[in-house]
Amino acid sequence: MVSVLWRESWLKPLSIYDIETKVCKFCKKTLEDQDFVTSCEFCDIGVMHDHCANSHILDKHKDEVEKKIELHKDKRLHDYQ
């Protein structure tokens, strides 16, 4: 079965002063105006580009992601019972 990973879809505008960094913590590139950014829910690496976070999470937190998917499957089973 294919599992997709849903990120909350609303956008929250923040200034670089709010996020206290000028660079992406993953690729180290300077954040540009209207870049899509997010943080990692599994560690406190800091703010990253959205696409960098995908790479980071799949690279560093594969186990956590798989656990989460398993957890979700269990929940859904209970809903049907």
Binding of Zn ion by 68 (CB under 5 A)? no
Task: Identify which range of 5-13, 14-22, 23-31, 71-79 contacts Zn ion by CB under 5 A.
Answer: 23-31
Of the pair 36, 71, the CB lying nearest Zn ion is at 36
* Gap between the Cα atoms of 20 and 22, Å rounded: 7
Asked whether the beta carbons of 39 and 53 are under 8 A apart, the reply is yes
Length of the chain in terms of residues written: 81
Q: Please identify which residue in 5, 43, 58, 71 interacts with Zn ion, judged by CB under 5 A.
A: 43
> What residues have CB less than 8 Å from 44, skipping those under 6 apart?
none
Of the pair 14, 43, the CB lying nearest Zn ion is at 43
Query: Which residues are at the interface with Zn ion (CB under 5 A)?
Result: 24, 26-27, 40, 42-43, 45, 49, 52
